[in-house]
Structure formats: C-alpha cells, structure tokens
Amino acid sequence: NYGSILLGLPNILNSLYYSFDLGHTWTYMILDGNSSIPIKIFPDSTSSSLLTTIITFNDNNKEWGFIKIDFTKTLKNDCDPNNYETYTPGLHDKFTCFQGQKGFSYRRKHDVKCKSVLDKFPQISPSICPCTQD
C-alpha cells in the first residue's frame, strides 16, 4: 500500500479498523445497519487514492453488495519527499539485496500521516546486486 492505508475487517462487517501508520495505531469505525460478510477488498489502483471498495455477502437474505469507503477527508496534508524512504520490498533492512536488486520502492515513514503523492515522484532505478544462496 506504499504507506497509504491499512484496513482491518471483522467477520461480520458492522465495523472496521483503519491505520495510516503501517498498523502502529488503529482507528475504529462503526458501519451502522450492516451485517454483511466481507468477501474481497479492492483498494483504488492509484497510490494517491484513499478509496476502497469492499464486496460483501449478506447470509440472511443471500444478497451480494458493495461498500465504497472514501478516506480522503481523514488526511489533510499531502506528503512530500521527506516523508518517504527508499526500501527493498520483503525485507526490513532497506539496503539489503532481494532478487538481485536493492532499494527499488518508496515507502511512507510510519510516523508520518499524509496523503500519498507517489504518482508525482520520479521512478527509482534499483541497484543491481549479486544473488546469494540465502
């Protein structure tokens, strides 16, 4: 999610949790009048979007549904380049080699809460590194 938003959903979708800081803190939100089961979450495909769609199924009336949630008003400020770090996916050490490359993605720092503007950043050219057995 490049540091945008994380969602936590219960088995019955009458509430949800969301986090803007990689899960360090969570905010609770009640979804009134909903007793559906969450089936699939579809975040918006752009890194700067705070929209998400949840496909649901109501076991009582056997109906499928969609819930669209817009989190854009929960964050006021746009991020700037200082709010991000370059890292290697899958590893905690951002300068470690992974599949022959290192440092090839941006990640928002976990203590910063701002709207992602990654689509305006230059692409990172990864560093090539030798593969090892581990």
Last residue of a domain, one of 33, 50, 70: 70
Residue 133 lies in a domain: no
Number of structural domains, the chain? 2
Per the structure, the complete domain to which residue 94 belongs is given by 81-128
Look at 30 and 116; give whichever has higher pLDDT: 30
Residue with tokens 């470690």: 96
Q: Does residue 105 fall inside a structural domain?
A: yes
Do 59 and 103 belong together in one domain? no
Dist CA 134 CA 119 (whole Å)? 34
Q: Is residue 76 part of a domain?
A: no
Q: How far is CA 76 from the centre of its chain?
A: 17
pLDDT at 90: 62
Could you tell me if 92 and 124 lie in one domain?
A: yes
106: exposed, middle or buried (Cβ count in 10 Å: 0-12, 13-18, 19+): buried
**Residue 39 is inside which H or E element, if any?**
strand 37-43
Give tens-digit pLDDT for 29-51.
888 777 788 898 887 766 567 78
pLDDT of the residue at 28: 92
Q: Are residues 19 and 64 in the same domain?
A: yes
107: burial class by Cβ within 10 Å (0-12, 13-18, 19+)? middle
pLDDT recorded at residue 64: 93
Same-domain check for residues 61 and 87: no
Which whole number is the average pLDDT over 12-32? 87
Is residue 93 a part of any domain in this protein? yes
The 10 Å Cβ neighbour count of residue 121 is 13
Q: Is the pLDDT of residue 121 over 70?
A: yes
pLDDT score at 1: 47
User: Do 62 and 112 fall into the same domain?
Assistant: no
